């Protein structure tokens, strides 16, 4: 699996088929998530209105449940979107934003995992450790743990929920509880862009909509984003121009750039 051919295959398929991704998500990251999906060739649709969830899941290729800011109708929309995705066999990706930061977020996580079985859970180290029920300091929505510190939590969660777990960080870790893929790409300035983790989740959903093997879908999306960050950082004066460069590169990325840059092992 040191061969990155599957990354390009996935990206090409997203571009050719343009899957619709439904996101129940937060307003801090919504705009960047949508632009990330459009740049990679997918189509975003977003709602937190429970009454339209069923119709929108039905026309979507994959579903994102992003805990984002769990207020108003959002929690109910999350539970319904998760259950509908399962019923209609659409890939479901769960992003436990800020898990561990408040008792209420922990409760929403618990209820979502009772209502639905995600195909993928993607979070940062602190969120994955909190979700696995391990004790660990959290700092709001930013991580205080590297991905590798969350390895045992990730493996445990993957086994418990029979899903793929992705922990993003300096090294991204992808595991289904048995196999493991490590992606050593990206740039230290990337965590200074708000919502970039949520955007990773959205891209994972786009790949999962069209790529059969879930491990390859997740690792493919994470690699594309990390390489975009790595290349964009070379010309970025700071986090805002880095964000611009990343979105532009999601749109233009070539097989050659992936081949040259990818550092995947597992």
- For the chain, helix, strand, coil in percent to 5 are 55, 15, 30
Minimum CB–partner distance for residue 9 and a copy of itself (Å) = 22
Sequence length of the chain is 266
Within a 10 A sphere around the Cβ of 104, how many other Cβ atoms?
12
CA dihedral 95, 100, 105, 108 (to 10 degrees): 70
Minimum CB–partner distance for residue 34 and a copy of itself (Å) = 4
Query: What burial class does residue 215 get, using C-beta atoms within 10 Å of its C-beta: 0-12 exposed, 13-18 middle, 19+ buried?
Result: buried
Residue found under tokens 């929690």: 75
Comparison of 5 and 58: residue with beta carbon closer to a copy of itself: 58
Closest CA to 181 of 196, 195, 164: 164
Minimum CB–partner distance for residue 183 and a copy of itself (Å) = 22
Minimum CB–partner distance for residue 39 and a copy of itself (Å) = 5
Comparison of 22 and 222: residue with beta carbon closer to a copy of itself: 22
Comparison of 247 and 261: residue with beta carbon closer to a copy of itself: 247
Minimum CB–partner distance for residue 16 and a copy of itself (Å) = 15
Comparison of 191 and 266: residue with beta carbon closer to a copy of itself: 191
> Can you give the binding site for a copy of itself, defined by CB under 8 A?
20, 22, 26-32, 34-35, 38-39, 43-49, 51-52, 55-56, 59-60, 69-73, 77, 98, 101-105, 138-142, 189, 191-195, 236-241, 243-252
Comparison of 92 and 264: residue with beta carbon closer to a copy of itself: 92
- Yes or no: say if 161 and 128 are a contact pair by the CB < 8 Å rule: no
Comparison of 185 and 243: residue with beta carbon closer to a copy of itself: 243
> C-alpha distances in angstroms, 216 versus 3, 117, 161, 187?
11, 19, 18, 22
Closest CA to 177 of 202, 160, 196, 189: 160
DSSP conformation letters of 96-128: -TTTTT-HHHHHHHHHHHHH---SEEEEEHHHH
Minimum CB–partner distance for residue 167 and a copy of itself (Å) = 19
Minimum CB–partner distance for residue 154 and a copy of itself (Å) = 23
Comparison of 5 and 240: residue with beta carbon closer to a copy of itself: 240
């Amino acid at each position: 699996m040191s061969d990155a051919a599957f990354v390009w295959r996935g990206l090409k398929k997203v571009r050719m088929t343009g899957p619709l991704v439904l996101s129940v998500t937060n307003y801090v990251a919504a705009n960047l998530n949508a632009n990330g999906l459009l740049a990679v060739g997918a189509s975003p649709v977003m709602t937190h209105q429970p009454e339209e969830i069923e119709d929108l899941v039905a026309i979507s290729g994959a579903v994102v449940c992003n805990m984002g800011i769990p207020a108003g109708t959002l929690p109910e929309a999350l539970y319904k979107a998760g259950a509908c995705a399962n019923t209609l066999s659409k890939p479901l990706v769960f992003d436990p934003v800020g898990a561990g930061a408040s008792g209420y977020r922990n409760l929403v996580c618990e209820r979502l995992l009772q209502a639905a079985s995600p195909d993928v859970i993607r979070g940062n180290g602190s969120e994955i450790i909190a979700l696995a029920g391990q004790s660990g300091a959290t700092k709001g929505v930013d991580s205080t743990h590297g991905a590798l510190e969350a390895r045992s939590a990730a493996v445990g969660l993957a086994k418990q929920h029979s899903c793929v777990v992705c922990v993003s960080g300096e090294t991204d870790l992808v595991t289904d509880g048995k196999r493991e893929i490590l992606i050593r790409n990206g740039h230290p300035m990337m965590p200074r862009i708000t919502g970039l983790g949520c955007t990773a989740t959205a891209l994972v959903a786009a790949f999962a909509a069209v790529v059969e093997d879930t491990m390859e879908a997740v690792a493919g999306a994470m690699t594309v984003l990390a390489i975009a960050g790595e290349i964009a950082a070379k010309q970025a004066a700071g986090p805002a121009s880095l964000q611009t460069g990343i979105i532009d590169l999601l749109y233009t990325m070539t097989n050659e750039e992936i081949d040259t840059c990818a550092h995947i092992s597992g």
